[in-house]
Amino acid sequence: MRIKNLILIITTLFSFSAYAQDMAEYTSGWEGILENPKVFNLKVEIENLGKENAKFKISNNKKIIDYPIIAKNNKQLEIPFAENYSFKGMLSKNGKEINGFIKSGILLYHLKLTQSDNNSFLGTWNILMIDELKSLNFNLSVENGEGNKYEAYPIFGDNRFTGTWCDNFQKENNLISFIDFKTGLQFKGKLEKNEIQLSILLGDNLLTEIELKKSITDWEIGGFKNDNRNTSILKLTEMENLISKDSFPNTHSVVISKKGEIIYENYFDGYNANIPHDMKSASKSISSAIVGLAKDKSLFKNVDQSIFDFLPEKYQTYNDSLKTKIDIQSLLTMSSGIDAIDYGINANPKSSATEDNYQRTPDWIEAILKAPMIHKPNTKANYGSANPSLLGVAMDSIVSEPLEFFIDKFLFQKLEISNYIIQTDLRDKPYFGGGMYLTPKDMLKFGELYLNKGKWKSKRIISRKWVQNSFKNYRNLENVTDKNGYGYLWWHNTYNANEKNIKSIEARGNGGQYIFVIPCLQTVVVITSGNYRNGKTQQPEIIFEKHILPYL
């Protein structure tokens, strides 16, 4: 009898082990419930700074990180609090706050830690960008399972989070693991017969656990109503009705200022004033401002300098007779002449330096510089992210501090902006091609800075000359439908309202992220959206021309 029982146990274990090995059995949709709406809103604390028992702490409803600080210099902190995670910060002159960045995944989350009564420095890290989950639904799509191979993609019921970019899918026996290389979140799952026990971690430190069951109904994602009461001076009832009826789908915010005063502010689909929005390529215009700040501080001589004056030695091999003429101005005006033109299905997949191409390589800068020249620099303009990407490398080479601290100190702190995120490249440096996250009201501040010719609250931040040069129309973009004029990473467009032509200078990003600067009306308009794959990226232009301009 004992032998029979032993054989039965061994057979059962072997059967389950064999069952657990085949990911085809798990290729399905899975769903579970998160423990609370604040699980990804993390309290960050620096305790006893300058003392022997100083600590760096992260917690939600429980302690996650408790890391001893060994600081040689309390004014400049560098804290590697977990594997592949770090915090770098600088103490303010008055000793009342610490401005710094948590590096997690490909993102630099800016934190402002403020001194509390008990001498600790406190701040909040919203790792999913949103200030609180509106839905606790958590879904996992397990795809292409076969043997030990699979892919897994977490999808949150609160779709205001911009989503994960998962990779590095591993499996050992009945344990799986993968990583979101955007946010840096780690996922580890234990495969049971009818469920998956999933843990979400910072390195080896547990954030939360979820019990997942196979989905039997469609997932409920998004669909949140607007919680905000619109008390704006300007009434845009027709626009609001069209947004509510889904005639302008995925519109997330509309904010308008005139002569520095906010006259309209409204949020939709559950968005609010505290959520930094992915600006996509609209942050190219911020990249232009960083170049301007460096020029104002005489960190480089002029915009006629060759990009090869700034590039590391390893890239000098690409400095041929034509590419050496690629200068700062040609990069600012999309006129480098590099084949970075994306014509969709007609783009050259092998040699062109489109974002889709170079971001698939281990060295983005090398891939860009390898691309052939199709025009002489400063002759023809073709929109593409390769140009500002090179600018980012150039600026990083000339600033004395980490580039993100230069950006924070000389731009965002001056504009009183602290709730933001910077996307990095493979070198862990700020990516100038796009991907900053700012709140709509902070995007408005940036537009007002340029409307006011480099001043904000009467204080000079960027030189008047740089703003004037930035807003010039150097040449038209040849690879966009409307052949828009283009300045220093700023778009030009003309609208018609009440039988008048109105000129606008714009920051634009994929999905419908717009900052409209209208000098003749002393007005800035910000519209953020989520139209990434439905052909409605330029929807804000319709909203602006038909439903905002006539009322201005």
Give which of 509, 511, 502 is closest to 532, Cα–Cα: 511
Please name the amino acid found at residue 158: D
Residue 142 scores a pLDDT above 80: yes
Count of beta carbons in the 10 Å neighbourhood of residue 496: 11
Within its chain, how far is the Cα of 337 from the centroid? 27
Q: What rounded mean pLDDT belongs to the chain?
A: 93
Percent of the chain, pLDDT > 90? 88
Cβ atoms of residues 337 and 324 within 8 Å: no
Residue 196 scores a pLDDT above 80: yes
Round to whole Å and give the CA distance between 453 and 463. 8
Q: What's the pLDDT score for residue 434?
A: 95
* DSSP 8-state symbol, 260: T
pLDDT, one tens digit per residue, over 260-290 is 999 999 999 999 999 999 999 999 999 999 9
Round to whole Å and give the CA distance between 321 and 308. 12
For 33-45, give the secondary structure using H, E and C. Answer: ECCCCCCCEEEEE
Q: What's the pLDDT score for residue 229?
A: 67
Within its chain, how far is the Cα of 519 from the centroid? 28
Residue 227 scores a pLDDT above 90: no
Give, in order, the Cα–Cα distances in Å from 168 to each of 152, 260, 346: 10, 48, 31
Q: Which residues pair with 90 in a beta bridge?
A: 76, 99
Round to whole Å and give the CA distance between 184 and 104. 5
Q: What's the pLDDT score for residue 16?
A: 45
The model carries a pTM of: 0.94
Q: What's the pLDDT score for residue 342?
A: 64
Q: What's the pLDDT score for residue 317?
A: 96
Length reported for the chain:
552
Give which of 383, 389, 495 is closest to 432, Cα–Cα: 389
Round to whole Å and give the CA distance between 295 and 284. 17
Q: What's the pLDDT score for residue 15?
A: 45
Q: At what angle do helices 440-451 and 284-296 cross, to 10 degrees?
A: 50
Residue 137 scores a pLDDT above 90: yes
Task: Identify the residue whose tokens are 């006893």.
Answer: 48
Task: Identify the residue whose tokens are 């699980």.
Answer: 39
